[in-house]
Amino acid sequence: MRAIISVADKSGIIEFARGLSALDVEIISTGGTASTLTEAGIPVQAVAEVTGFPEILGGRVKTLHPAIAGGILARRAVPGDMRELSEHQITPIDLVVCNLYPFAQAIARNAPHEQLIEEIDIGGVTLLREAAKNYVDVSVVVRPQDYDMVLMAIREHGTPSLEARRQLAAVAFSHTAYYDSLIADYMRLGTSEALLPEYLTLGLQRIQPLRYGENPHQYAAFYAWGNATHAAPASNGNHGAAVASVPTVASAQVLHGKELSYNNLLDLDAALAAVASFTSPATVIVKHTNPCGLACSDTLVESYRRAHAGDPISAYGGIIGVNREVDAATAAELGSVFYEAIIAPGFTDEALDLLRKKKNIRLLATGMEIGPSAMSANAVDPYRLDFRRVSGGILAQTADIISDQDVTCEVVTERKPTFEETTDLLFAWKAVRHVKSNAIVLAQRLMIVGVGAGQTYRAASVQIAIDRAADRARGAVLASDAYFPFADGVELAAKAGVTAVIQPGGSIRDEEVIRAANRNMMAMIFTGQRHFRH
């Protein structure tokens, strides 16, 4: 048997090559890999000795030669192929072990453009595609985790089975497709193809399989975008390290707790997005991706107390998101209620000591600031497209991210909102974007007091929010994610004591809605922007 080994990730390669050599497998190798194996005392034949041609162009051309390609692509059962190999004195190659230049890591460390171009692998991709295409006769190995299986198969049967070779070929093609998708995404930046390109390639890498999906009968896994690395397991004293340009659930470091579930991850992402809308200390409590409590205050602990007070019944078993480092005072308050998980920029040592006493809670640290300035890059980031699957295809859209400067407020009623009402209206407008449509939020003193979500008509969401708020609806303000098609929702709010409304406007019955607000001495602001969340 003859093998060619050319790997950027050298994890486990010495042990694997040593095992191959012990089985009398002849090893061919390229520059850096050849040096590694030679230093380990493993017999290696340089590619240049096989091709009779040196590596050129600074290593850009090494394995692109008929002596390599022919040896891999020749079909053993086709007499003409084997006759041509003999005529040109080419020996077949039976095993290709290759993984590619670390383009994703180069992006993650913000390498300069010239260096990134040199991290685009050409020869390695060719080797993988050649071997995968000819999997009937050739085994191709990309992942170090497959080394032991392949070595055992060679030891026991002389070669992996045909089924195993086909599986390895599928891995190889997936690897090259993933690799090319990262390059395509990078090359699109700054061009007309940057968002919504004609050919959309999704570079996703599995972080971990999940126990199950939304329900136990569904299979699930967690995948991360290839341009963002994920955190390594926490070590003692490491309370979160920055591993991505913006805080994400995928890059957050799990500091404590059992394995995250599919639903946990959805709720954590919703919590992170919600608190990232605010510059003041903020806490959100999320249930089924909807905020049931959200508040801002001068201190994190007070923001938590107010968020919990917004709906203490729904808060139980929720997901917490905060935009400040969790201190001991906040941890003490959090520890008094059962929560599934907390995501934060970080945790003080004292906070970790307190929260780790609760075995079932998960603690995640983004390791970096959570707030509008940290998240604003997402608005122009092509990787930040949102996706939804429909039968036969995928819908893609840019993210619903609007900066404070882009919000226009037009007072359309006879009464203008007071300063306090305006402050609460803008708070509620930020909050309602994170609630499922039809979405209604009642707020008072930078605190959610009632939420109506996901109803099929808007007035029903208004009534639910009023019912949740109870007496706190009196003096509150209301935010609606879309316009009021009729005046009934505003009439309900006025009857409950709501004093001001913020909504997009744009209904054919806007004048009717405005008249209803005027009759009830309510202030109303139109933003001209809708925030549906299906």
Per the CB < 8 A criterion, the answer to whether 99 and 82 are in contact is no
Catalytic residue among 62, 88, 113, 133: 133
Rounded to whole angstroms, how far apart are CA atoms 457 and 466?
A: 15
Torsion of Cα atoms, 473 then 478 then 481 then 485, to 10°: 90
Per DSSP, 231 falls in state: P
Concerning whether 430 is annotated as a catalytic residue, the answer is no
- CB contact at 8 A, 138 and 171: no
Nearest partner of 179 among 278, 104, 262, judged by Cα? 104
- Which spans in 88-231 are helix H? 103-108, 113-118, 123-133, 147-157, 162-188
Backbone phi, then psi, for 99, in 5-degree steps? -135, 165
DSSP-derived letter for residue 397 is: E
> Has 62 been annotated as catalytic?
no
Hey, what amino acid is at 215? Answer: N
CA distance 213 to 220: 5
Burial 399-411 (b: 16+ CB within 10 A, else e): eebbeeeeeeeee
- What are the residues whose beta carbons fall under 8 Å from the beta carbon of 419, sequence distance 6 or more? none
Sign of CA dihedral 469, 472, 474, 476: negative
Q: Using only C-alpha atoms, what is the Rg of the chain? A: 29
Distance (Å, rounded) from C-alpha 375 to C-alpha 312? Answer: 29
**Residue pair 288/318 in contact by the 8 Å Cβ criterion:** no
- What is the token pair recorded at 380? 């122009």
Q: What are phi and psi of 524, to 5 degrees?
A: -140, 135
Burial readout 221-258 (b: 16 or more C-beta within 10 A, e: otherwise) = ebebbbbbbbbeebeeeebbbebbbbbbbbbbbbbbbe
Task: Tell me how far apart the alpha carbons of residues 182 and 205 are, in angstroms, rounded to a whole number.
Answer: 11
| Catalytic pick among 10, 258, 288, 358 | 288
Write out the two tokens for 340.
């599934």
H or E element: which one contains 96? strand 95-99
Those residues with Cβ within 8 angstroms of residue 229's Cβ, 6 or more apart along the chain or in another chain? 104, 105, 108, 243, 244, 251
Structure tokens at 287: 């249930």
Task: Give the residue numbers annotated as catalytic, written as ranges.
Answer: 133, 288
